Structure 1
Amino acid sequence: MNSFEWLIGMRYTRAKRRNGFISFISAASMAGIALGVIALITVLSVMNGFQREIRGRILEVASHIQASGEGGRLANWQATATELQRNPAVRATAPYVQAQGLLWHEGSTQGALVRGIVPAQEDKVAGLGTHMVAGRLDALKAGEFNIVLGQELARALGVDLGDKVTMAIPQGNITPAGMMPRFRSFTVVGLFRIDMYQYDAGYAFIDLRDAQKLYRFGEDVSGVRLKIDDPLAAPELAIRMQSSFPHLWLSDWTKENSNYFRAVQIEKRMMFLILTLIVAIAAFNLVSSLVMTVTDKQADIAILRTLGATPTSILKIFVIQGATIGVVGTVVGVVGGVLLALNVGTVVGWVESLLGMKMLSPQVYLISELPSEVLPGDVALVGTISLVLAFLATLYPSWRAARINPAEALRYE
């Protein structure tokens, strides 16, 4: 572009127009683009933070990869665990027995997913011990038939440390009267809280030996849980390891909790589409502003044409004007959005103190603080979309300006 096109385009952008309404529309377009970009970046960052928080809490209980045997039983698990740990990406392994159980205490009955573990090994894989709110995980000892419950499960049963709960086992005994379920009494020695209802209300942990005896596994286990260096690489690693262990069924934590992440991802995409409309509306305002500017500047355009300016030069002048508004609005929005996303917790805390209310009650929501994670890719995508929409908004008004006939424009001047 020639220097005079830049000069005139920037002058039209900065100049105070005779028609104040046009200036107002231009300012509103710039502000609309900035607000749209701020909203997009902030919402996407909060969704990323929410996903990160949920992922972290899931990984407190779920292993990165699970290797189980056919039919839900794995024989000679010690050798299997040794072979799995030879992979340089595997940091720790832990055996487990997993089955259903029905817990009863003084008239209250709750179903639970019962997992038999070796406390010392389990802590290296999932770190459950760090979420104990009462008692200790290492109180689970073979032969003592102790149990650790989720806090919500314990509350539903009405039990606390030291209380006895009775567990009904699905594998019953055959008697002349038919199949009779088996029962076993357990002592509550610990309570844990992950702050995810699925786990806090549905999981119970016992010692591995007790689980093997209770569910008649003998020396077998359900499988081996693995912890790896990078949890996000678990799906790819599980696929690669599957070819080396065809006798095992390998699944990763993303498959076991796919509903959570699918819901968050769908919500993130829908919010992105909805909030992009804010930027699109601001771009439509930019079209209106430039159309009115072209109408207001018809005489100037005609004079430029009589002085030798080509239609292409006129088009470039108004593209520069519109693009400048779009670029300034986008830059302000990106800077403001990143700053707000990085400090959204502080802002929400200030609003809560101002209104005297808690927006995210820990009794209702999974998280009590608004998380945020700014991803450069999201920021770049939002900025690019904003610039593209702003540029597209300049094309029609600029094309209309380039088609103005100088003689017609000057006839009534």
Structure 2
Amino acid sequence: MFGPFERAVAGRYLRARKGERFVSVIAIFSLVGIALGVATLIIVMAVMNGFKADLMGRILGLNGDMSLFSVSRSIGNYDDLAATVRHVPGVTAATPLIEGQVLLSAGSYNTGGMVRGMTRAGLRDLHEVSDSLVAGSLDGFDGNDAIIIGVTLAERAGLSVGSRLTLISPNGAATPFGTMPRIRAYHVVAIFDAGMNDYNSSYVFLPLPAAQVYFQMPDQVTQIQVMTRDATNVQPVRAAIERAVGDSRIRVLDWTQTNNAFFGAVTVEQNVMFLILTLIVLVAAFNVISSLIMMVKDKTADIAVLRTIGASRGAIMRIFLMCGASVGVTGTVIGTVLGIVFCLNIERIRQFLQSLTGTNLFNPTVYYLEHLPEKLIWSQVVEVIVMALSLSLLATLYPSWRAARTDPVEALRHE
């Protein structure tokens, strides 16, 4: 498409000579703008992908892909029901549990919290907790006097393995003097770090028999938590569970029903950010138009001479297309490399900036996560590259067309 003649002339025009520095400076700014726009797009999309994937993995890892509830708010035959669910294709685990809200108290520290009563085997299946123990072990998770807490709660309340944590529930026994709250202290047997500040600070785990005693639910649970092989395709598994259970009193809710609004908002924000940051590349493309128009005005006499010695309009157009495309392609390549390198080292960069400034750049109490996640999706990187190259090439069309339309007679009349 581009012959040696066009490449030679375009390369000569891209090398600024005396008196042409201003056009060259505009071209450099255009290149820098495209590079920064492409790098910013890649970095932001990778961070938002990582945020979504990490958040989704942790939320589903702790809450399960779906849950079974009873319209009566308690499930009696939970062992048989869990066994039925485990035999459904696509199900990897079905864990009966009791969940209830309490007040957590340790010395002068008090906060609201969520109690989950589970068997030791069920807690082992909850890998976000069982695989992230920072102190203690699951060996002592039995009886009526054991509790597992999060690392943030342990730090705020000054607790360690062997300490006592008191649970207070307002749903106590009725007396002539009113309802007396239920108060019970438990020994901490393990401390976990789930990677989410919300869970680390407010979730505690009791053995299932202890939770049944505390919440006065003998031989009952509040739900059955279900894990599946593919969380992104839970609807067929949910339908299969409903058919296997065959009980209209049991409701099956998957994560798309309970958390869909949250993940939908993240997806919308991701798309909006892509459109907003695309404007950076668009502005840089307009700079390419400006630099090319100025180059065409500056090279009017050269264009006329080239036309008189036999250069066709197509050759002139290809020369300036190459000039603009060189800026766009170079900026896109630099921006892509810069964005990928930044993404692959984003946590190291955050730690360096944090130590340099002495500030917390990613507060876990605000962002729920305790590190800056990133997930490069190469198809999105390709989309960014194609978008940047397309805008850059489109920006060269009009100035190149104007150059090709130059009349050599008119251009040389006053020379």
1:152-231 correspondence runs (5 A): 152-157=152-157, 159-231=159-231
Q: CA deviation at 1:22?
A: 1.6
Looking at structure 2, the residues matched to 278 and 305 of structure 1 have their Cα atoms a distance apart, in angstroms, of 37
Q: CA deviation at 1:68?
A: 2.3
Residue aligning to 2:78 = 77
Residue aligning to 1:134 = 135
CA spacing shift, 1:243–1:278, aligned 2, 3 Å: farther
Looking at structure 1, the residues matched to 237 and 177 of structure 2 have their Cα atoms a distance apart, in angstroms, of 50
Q: Does 1:113 align with 2:114?
A: yes
CA spacing shift, 1:239–1:409, aligned 2, 3 Å: farther
Residue aligning to 1:290 = 292
TM, length-normalised to structure 1: 0.84
**Deviates most, 54-63 or 73-82:** 54-63
Q: Give deviations 1:254-300, integer Å, cap 9, x for gaps.
A: 65555764565455445434432332222121111100111112123
Looking at structure 2, the residues matched to 132 and 288 of structure 1 have their Cα atoms a distance apart, in angstroms, of 60
Looking at structure 1, the residues matched to 154 and 409 of structure 2 have their Cα atoms a distance apart, in angstroms, of 87
**Deviates most, 279-288 or 305-314:** 305-314
3-state SS of paired residue (1:290): helix
CA spacing shift, 1:233–1:57, aligned 2, 3 Å: same
Looking at structure 2, the residues matched to 295 and 86 of structure 1 have their Cα atoms a distance apart, in angstroms, of 76
CA contact (8 A) 1:104 1:167 kept: yes
- The share of aligned pairs that are identical, in percent, is 37
Q: CA deviation at 1:319?
A: 2.5
Letter matched to residue 411 of structure 1:
R
CA contact (8 A) 1:65 1:226 kept: yes
Q: 1:403 pairs with 390, 402, 405, which one? A: 405
Looking at structure 2, the residues matched to 379 and 373 of structure 1 have their Cα atoms a distance apart, in angstroms, of 11
Task: Give the aligned CA root-mean-square deviation in angstroms.
Answer: 3.3
Letter matched to residue 150 of structure 2:
G
3-state SS of paired residue (2:190): strand
CA contact (8 A) 1:9 1:318 kept: no
Residue aligning to 1:326 = 328
CA contact (8 A) 2:197 2:364 kept: no
Structure 2, unmatched stretches of 5+, are: none
Structure 1, unmatched stretches of 5+, are: none
Looking at structure 1, the residues matched to 277 and 312 of structure 2 have their Cα atoms a distance apart, in angstroms, of 39
3-state SS of paired residue (1:220): coil
3-state SS of paired residue (1:381): helix
Looking at structure 2, the residues matched to 319 and 377 of structure 1 have their Cα atoms a distance apart, in angstroms, of 27
Looking at structure 2, the residues matched to 232 and 120 of structure 1 have their Cα atoms a distance apart, in angstroms, of 25
3-state SS of paired residue (1:201): helix
CA spacing shift, 1:349–1:220, aligned 2, 3 Å: closer
Looking at structure 1, the residues matched to 184 and 359 of structure 2 have their Cα atoms a distance apart, in angstroms, of 44
CA spacing shift, 1:236–1:396, aligned 2, 3 Å: farther
Looking at structure 1, the residues matched to 301 and 242 of structure 2 have their Cα atoms a distance apart, in angstroms, of 74
Residue aligning to 1:382 = 384
Q: CA deviation at 1:40?
A: 2.0
Letter matched to residue 400 of structure 2:
S
Residue aligning to 1:93 = 94
Q: CA deviation at 1:392?
A: 1.9
3-state SS of paired residue (2:216): coil
Letter matched to residue 69 of structure 1:
S
Q: Give deviations 1:185-242, integer Å, cap 9, x for gaps.
A: 4333333332422112211211212222332333221222222233444466446645
Looking at structure 2, the residues matched to 153 and 199 of structure 1 have their Cα atoms a distance apart, in angstroms, of 9
Q: CA deviation at 1:181?
A: 3.4
Looking at structure 2, the residues matched to 239 and 369 of structure 1 have their Cα atoms a distance apart, in angstroms, of 36
Residue aligning to 2:344 = 342
Residue aligning to 1:301 = 303
3-state SS of paired residue (1:61): helix
CA spacing shift, 1:394–1:178, aligned 2, 3 Å: same
Looking at structure 1, the residues matched to 159 and 111 of structure 2 have their Cα atoms a distance apart, in angstroms, of 12
CA contact (8 A) 1:91 1:228 kept: yes
Q: Give deviations 1:158-205, integer Å, cap 9, x for gaps.
A: 554444444333433333344443343433333333242211221121
